[in-house]
Amino acid sequence: MRRESWIRAARLIGIALLLVTLPLSFACGGGGEPQPTPTSPAQVSEFEVVQEAVADYLDDWAAGKNGANIKAVDLYALLNDGDTSNDPHIVSCRSAADYANGHIPGAVNLGAFSELSSLPKDEDILVYCYTGQSASAATALLGTMGYDVQNLLHGMSSWSSDPAVYVSRFDAATHQHDYTVETAANTATGGNAYPDIENTTSTDEDAIVEAAAKTVTAKYIDAVDLYALLNDGDSDNDPVIVSLRSATDYAAGHVPGAVNIGLGSLADNLDKLPADETIVLYCYTGHTAGQATALLNMLGYDAQSLKFGFCSWSSTATKCFDAATAASSYDVES
């Protein structure tokens, strides 16, 4: 073969090789449009998501749109007005044994807060327990998850006068003490870091709120135990105490050392609560504190509710449950 033929053949082979390698070059990012760099999923702060859900719920609560208490007389009237379309979906938060022994007609029984998200979202929910404190916590959890919910004031204690049915209720002769109160105001210091919560790998906000709600269990402390803790000579184990009562009632007398933060402003004062200390909250009867405790537990705080509220701490307390005026004798089913 002549020299010119060899040169021509070599050129043809080179062009062919170039055409073969061009697609590979583009595919590997060696030419053409630059390929996007893979990115990691956006990081979501679970605390911030739950904090926003808590704030939204408390705004509705303050406006009277959600989370209110309903009296037994009003619930009875609602269930017996001849219009079933306005009947709420009733949920008992009591034990299975006590539910079987007697419950509000039509009620279903849920034994744990982790089951609350199984309730229908297209119905109004009515939650009740023994005295109203645990159901108040459930009410707050449901409210943050987008449910329209109410709590039965004083629980089964207000629905039935049969001890075998109500099982447990506030009794001043047994549960009320006359512990020391103070009138000097205490100031909470701001600037505390928020807890860091990780309950799910999901970045969906509803899933994050639901996961936080499922971590909550009812947490209480009796007045006797709180008094002993505050007077054991060891200030290192003293909890941070928050009064949720009105400013007027707080000024008239409160648990020694307590600061005053209303439930409606709780979301705006989280930096005043330490994430590394136990927090004890109290109100009048335990209802409001039950809500606040559940919300703080969702946010990762170590919070407890004073059982029966200020009514268990001092005989100067007001708004306490009185069976003579607050207890009814409505029908139950088993």
153 & 184 share domain: no
153 & 260 share domain: no
149 & 97 share domain: yes
* Domain end point (choices 171, 199, 220): 171
161 & 180 share domain: no
Q: Is 149 within a domain? A: yes
CB atoms within 10 A of CB 16: 10
Q: What is the pLDDT of residue 15?
A: 37
186 & 308 share domain: yes
Q: Is 23 within a domain? A: no
Q: Is 24 within a domain? A: no
Residue 33 has pLDDT above 70, yes or no: no
Residue 7 has pLDDT above 90, yes or no: no
- Mean pLDDT of all residues in 42-59: 94
Q: What is the pLDDT of residue 41?
A: 54
For the chain, what is the mean pLDDT? Answer: 90
Domain count of the fold of the chain: 2
Q: Is 1 within a domain? A: no
Q: Which is nearest to 139 in space by CA: 297, 307, 291?
A: 291
194 & 302 share domain: yes
Q: What is the pLDDT of residue 35?
A: 59
Q: Is 220 within a domain? A: yes
163 & 267 share domain: no
What is the Cα–Cα distance from 150 to 173, expressed in whole angstroms? 29
83 & 189 share domain: no
In terms of residue numbers, what domain contains 122?
A: 46-171
Residue 38 has pLDDT above 70, yes or no: no
Backbone angles phi, psi at 24, to 5 degrees: -65, -35
Q: Which residues pair with 278 in a beta bridge?
A: 302
Q: Where are the alpha helices (DSSP H) in the chain?
A: 3-27, 46-62, 72-79, 96-101, 133-144, 156-159, 163-166, 172-175, 205-213, 223-230, 247-252, 287-298, 323-326
Distances (CA, A) of 318 to 118, 142, 244, 284, 286: 37, 28, 14, 7, 12
Q: Is 223 within a domain? A: yes
Q: What is the pLDDT of residue 111?
A: 82
Q: Is 251 within a domain? A: yes
Amino acid, res. 157:
S
State the CATH number of the domain containing residue 232: 3.40.250.10
280 & 195 share domain: yes
* Domain end point (choices 149, 171, 193): 171
* Domain end point (choices 155, 171, 187): 171
- Cβ-proximal residues to 166 (8 Å cutoff; 6+ apart), any chain: 130, 155, 156, 157, 159, 160, 327
- Mean pLDDT of all residues in 210-224: 97
Tell me the three state secondary structure of residue 221. Answer: strand
Q: Mean pLDDT lowest for which of 14-28, 161-175, 240-254, 319-333?
A: 14-28
**Which comes out higher in pLDDT, residue 272 or 35?**
272
166 & 179 share domain: no
Residue 31 has pLDDT above 60, yes or no: no
110 & 148 share domain: yes
149 & 85 share domain: yes
Q: Which is nearest to 303 in space by CA: 274, 267, 263?
A: 274
Q: Is 114 within a domain? A: yes
